[in-house]
Structures are given as structure tokens and as C-alpha cells.
């Protein structure tokens, strides 16, 4: 049955992602203008962004085409306003914007520090669009499609390699939020699927009850290095190979050290050479002032943790599954409960037939402990980083954290349960599931595999009503 999942993923992800590629109006995914700026910098030879003079100040960014702003402007009235629709006049005006060589320096502080790797499909599509003189909007669609196709291919191979962990990975990779990121200009889609690929190399060894081979160690370390370079809190993911024994422990430690060095080194380089403070229009921020506040009130950390989930908890609950557009297009409330139920049930095939003693000793215990520590540590750093750079000084909750940031962490969790060791008679890596437990495992697996059909219908209805029908 494990061979069915990757191919089913490819079909369902293609249908759902390419619907969003063409049906979401231009620039209507979160921060899409900033992401197209970053991808477009590559076409101008700026593989790494720079500090540039723009709007009378020095900002992290680089060269961009004036035509992008002209294509975006007709749709600027749509984000954050659920009652606004994308009308024919908007499309007509936007389609007049073409690549004509006019260039200016753009400030893109939130995307400029990102490495180029996960923008390569989008940049290649932009280069093609410029070469064949496509309008900017059609180039945007082409770039979305290139990103979606790349994410689907990476996700396919992740599921193909993941062994028994493929069912919960399948569920995470086909959440509406994940798919909407594949179908956007954002690098986040590849962050999720490359994380899943890194986990797949580790889960494969666990599922087969053997140590990691050298190629698997370096492949997983490379995946986590790339992900860790995108956002500093994700650098903790570079520790994940420690969860699984390797044929050569010293080589595994070297690979982990190398991936950490790459992730941390990139962050230091960007902090020194590129990054400038994020500017929040509605409230002043001051990282040093925030640090002084915390040093003077260390017990406030507990209050901040509790208050943050009181203020934003329901938003995280929905955003993780999917609030589309500029986090302004909600799916029906009952769908969220159904999606979480399916996500939880997707882990049950990994638990069936497991011996209780396995959770407390040996390889499964190590995998569970490392996975939990990395997920919690990375999550804590996400909150801490945004408290420092995006939250007003002294505020007792964290602003700026989005539910989509937790999707790569969710892709880690199947490793905690991926050991192939089961009670005799329950199948596992030596054969297919048998008896009533086998029937239950098959039933749960098919439920997870088919639930994205519901997701496709729900997302299509939501997008059409939100953007096109009064």
C-alpha cells in the first residue's frame, strides 16, 4: 500500500495546487509581492540581496521592475477586506503591465535575507516570462506553476522514501495551507516539502529497522541545512539526524555540524551584510528595548507564553490548516475540526501493534525525544524571534507568528513514531497488515488518502465565493 500514497499525492496535489495557481487573483497570497521581488532579484543577477538606497533610507532589498508594482496596484484593494472582489477592471488594468526594463531599488526586509535556493523555480519562470514578453500577471501565474510543480515533485519523493511514516506526512503535505503555499511565489512550500524529504531519509531507516547509511545521513543533513538557512529558528532542525543511529556515528556528527554551520553561517552573514530592521507601520519596535524589558522582567516570559495563546490561539488553530489569501479567507469552521481529526488519525497506523516498552527504551525512545526537543525548541525560537523584532516593547503577547510556520515542525513528528518494530502478526516492514488490525490500518490509510478530495471541494468553493461572487 505504501506505493499508492506518493502517486495519489501527486494527483491530488496537482489538482488542488493548480486550481489555486490560476484561480487566486494576482498577488493574493500572503506577502506575494515581497516574494516576487526576491525571486526577481535573481533575474537581475542578485543571487544574494543587498543593502540598497531606497525611499531616502538604506534597506535590505535589491533591484526590481517597476512593472511589478503596476501589475499589483489594481488588486491592492482586495487584501484584508473579505467583502472586496477581484473584478474584470482589475484584471484588465493589471494585464497592461509588461516587462519594459524600468528598474528601481525595492525594500524587501522580510524576504531579502532568504537564500536563493527555494526561489529558483520562480526566478526561472520570471526569466522565461521576460524572454517571451509575457505580461507580468501571466509571468506570475507561470512562476506559481513552476513553484507548485517543484513542490509536488519533492513531496512525491519524500512520500516514496518515508516508509511507514508516509501516512501522516501525506496528511501534512495536503493540508490546504501547505497546498496554497505550493501555488504561490513563496519559498515556504519548498521549506515544507524539503523538510519532509529530510525526515523521509531518516524515517526510511527507522521503518526498515537499520542504521542510516552514509548517503542518507548527508542527504538529510543537506535538506535541513537548506531549511535552516531560510529562517533562523529552523536551524535547530539540523539536529534531526541525531534521532536515528548511523553506520558511522562520527560521520553523522560531522554532517550535523556541517549543516548547522551552513544555517548559522548564512544567518550571521545576512545579519552583518544585508539585514536591516523590520519596519512595522502600526507600532514601533525595538529589539534592544525588548531585550532590556525581558532582562528586567524575566518572569514575564511565562505570562507572555500564556497570553499569546489566549490572544492568538484560535488564529493558529485555523491558520495551520488554512486561512487563504492574505490570511483573510477562512474555510468553513466545521472543516477545521474535520482536518484536525484526520491529521490525528493519520498517526494511528504507526501506532498499531507497537509494544508499549518500545516507547521507553532504545531507538524509538531516542527518535521520539529528539523529535520533540527539536520541534519544541524551534517553535520557542520562532516565538522568541518575533517577540524581539516584531512585537512592541513590553507587550505581554507575541505578534507576527503565523500558523503556517508550524507546518515544517509538523512534518518532523512522524519520525517519532516511525520505527518498524511491531508485535508479531501485525505486519510492519516484513509484510502487509493482517487481521482486524490490518483492516483498521487500511481503513485509516484510505481515509487519510481520500480526505483531500473534500479539501479540494471546500477550498474551491471558498475561493470562488471570496474573490469572484457577490
DSSP 185-249: S-SHHHHHHHHHHHHHHHHHHHHTTSPBPHHHHHHHHHHHHHHHHHSGGGGGGGGGGGGS-BSSH
Give the pLDDT confidence score for residue 24 in this predicted structure: 96
Write down the pLDDT at residue 424. Answer: 42
Label residue 282 by pLDDT band (50, 70, 90): confident
Residue whose entry in the numeric block shows the C-alpha cell 531606497:
54
pLDDT band per the 50, 70, 90 thresholds, residue 359: low
Cα 381 to Cα 121: distance, rounded to the nearest angstrom: 29
| Rounded CA separation 180/464 (Å) | 15
Check whether 352 has a pLDDT greater than 80.
Answer: no
Residue 360: the pLDDT is 52
Q: Give yes or no for residue 361 having a pLDDT over 60.
A: no
pLDDT over 80 at 353, yes or no: no
Overall size of the chain counted in residues: 470
Q: Say if residues 317 and 336 touch (Cβ distance below 8 Å).
A: yes
431 pLDDT higher than 50:
no
* pLDDT tens track for 152-175: 999 999 999 998 899 999 999 999
Can you tell me the distance from the alpha carbon of 287 to that of 139, in angstroms, rounded to the nearest whole number? 38
The model carries a pTM of 0.94
Phi, psi of 47 (to 5 degrees): -65, -35
Q: What is the average pLDDT across 88-114?
A: 95
pLDDT at 35: 97
* Average pLDDT over all residues of the chain: 93
Cα separation, 389 vs 398, in Å, equals 10
d(CA 369, CA 130): 49
User: 225-229, 242-246, 346-350, 363-367: which has the minimum mean pLDDT?
Assistant: 363-367
pLDDT band, residue 95 (cuts 50/70/90): very high
Full DSSP string of 108-158 = -TTTTTS-SGGGHHHHHHHHHHHHTT-BHHHHHHHHHHHHHHHHHHHHHHH
Q: What are the C-alpha distances in Å from 319 to residues 85, 184, 273, 326? A: 22, 16, 33, 11
Q: What is the pLDDT of residue 355?
A: 57
Cα angle 276, 281, 284 (rounded to 5 degrees) comes to 70
The predicted structure's pLDDT at residue 441: 86
* For range 55-74, the mean pLDDT: 94
Confidence (pLDDT) at 423: 47
| DSSP track, 265-312 | HHHHHHHHHT------SSS---HHHHHHHHHH-TTHHHHHHHHHHHHH
What's the grid cell of residue 464? 470562488
Helices 120-131 and 32-43, interaxial angle, to 10°?
70
For the stretch 256-276, pLDDT in tens is 999 999 999 999 999 999 999
By the 8 A CB rule, do 382 and 402 touch? Answer: no
- Name the band, by pLDDT with cuts 50, 70 and 90, for residue 428: very low
The pLDDT score that the predictor gives to residue 429 is 41
Phi/psi for 248 (5° steps) reads -130, 100
pLDDT exceeds cutoff 60 at 357: no
Residue 427's pLDDT is 44
Of 43-57, 227-241, 357-371, which range is least confident? 357-371
Amino acid at each position: 500500500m505504501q506505493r499508492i500514497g506518493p502517486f495519489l499525492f501527486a494527483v491530488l496535489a496537482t489538482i488542488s495546487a493548480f486550481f489555486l495557481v490560476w484561480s487566486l487573483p494576482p498577488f493574493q497570497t500572503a506577502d506575494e509581492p515581497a516574494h516576487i521581488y526576491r525571486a526577481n532579484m535573481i533575474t537581475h543577477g542578485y543571487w544574494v540581496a543587498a543593502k540598497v538606497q531606497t525611499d531616502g533610507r538604506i534597506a535590505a532589498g535589491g533591484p526590481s521592475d517597476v512593472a511589478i508594482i503596476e501589475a499589483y496596484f489594481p488588486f491592492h484593494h482586495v487584501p484584508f477586506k473579505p467583502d472586496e472582489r477581484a473584478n474584470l477592471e482589475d484584471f484588465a488594468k493589471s494585464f497592461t503591465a509588461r516587462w519594459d526594463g524600468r528598474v528601481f531599488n525595492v525594500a524587501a526586509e522580510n524576504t531579502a535575507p532568504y537564500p536563493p535556493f527555494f526561489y529558483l523555480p520562480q526566478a526561472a519562470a520570471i526569466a522565461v516570462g521576460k524572454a517571451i514578453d509575457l505580461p507580468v500577471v501571466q509571468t506570475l501565474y507561470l512562476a506559481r506553476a513552476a513553484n507548485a510543480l517543484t513542490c509536488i515533485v519533492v513531496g512525491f519523493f519524500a512520500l516514496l522514501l518515508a516508509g511507514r511514516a508516509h501516512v501522516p506526512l501525506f496528511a501534512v503535505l495536503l493540508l490546504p495551507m501547505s497546498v496554497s503555499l505550493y501555488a504561490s511565489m513563496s519559498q515556504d512550500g519548498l521549506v515544507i516539502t524539503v523538510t519532509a524529504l529530510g525526515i523521509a531519509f531518516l524515517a526510511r531507516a527507522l521503518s526498515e529497522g537499520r542504521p542510516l547509511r552514509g548517503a542518507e545521513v548527508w542527504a538529510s543533513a543537506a535538506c535541513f541545512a537548506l531549511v535552516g538557512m531560510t529562517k533562523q529558528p529552523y536551524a535547530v532542525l539540523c539536529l534531526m539526524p541525531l534521532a536515528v543511529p548511523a553506520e558511522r556515528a562520527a560521520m553523522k556528527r560531522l554532517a550535523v555540524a556541517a549543516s548547522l554551520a551552513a544555517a548559522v553561517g548564512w544567518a550571521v552573514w545576512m545579519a552583518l551584510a544585508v539585514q536591516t530592521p523590520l519596519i512595522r507601520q502600526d507600532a514601533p519596535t525595538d529589539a534592544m528595548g525588548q531585550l532590556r524589558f525581558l532582562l528586567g522582567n524575566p518572569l514575564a516570559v511565562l505570562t507572555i507564553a500564556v497570553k499569546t495563546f489566549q490572544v492568538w490561539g484560535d488564529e493558529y488553530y485555523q491558520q495551520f490548516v488554512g486561512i487563504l489569501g492574505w490570511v483573510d479567507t477562512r474555510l468553513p469552521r466545521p472543516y477545521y475540526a474535520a482536518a484536525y481529526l484526520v491529521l490525528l488519525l493519520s498517526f494511528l497506523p504507526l501506532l498499531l501493534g507497537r509494544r508499549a516498552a518500545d516507547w521507553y527504551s532504545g531507538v524509538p525512545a531516542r527518535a521520539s525525544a529528539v523529535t520533540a526537543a527539536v520541534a519544541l525548541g524551534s517553535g520557542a525560537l520562532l516565538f522568541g524571534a518575533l517577540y524581539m523584532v516584531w512585537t512592541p516593547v513590553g507587550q505581554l503577547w507575541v505578534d507576527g507568528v503565523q500558523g503556517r510556520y508550524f507546518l515544517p515542525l509538523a512534518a518532523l513528528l512522524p519520525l517519532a513514531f516511525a520505527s518498524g518494530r511491531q508485535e508479531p502478526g501485525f505486519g510492519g516492514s516484513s509484510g502487509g497488515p493482517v487481521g482486524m488490525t490490518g483492516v483498521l490500518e487500511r481503513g485509516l490509510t484510505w481515509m487519510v488518502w481520500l480526505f483531500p478530495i473534500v479539501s479540494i471541494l471546500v477550498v474551491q468553493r471558498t475561493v470562488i465565493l471570496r474573490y469572484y461572487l457577490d
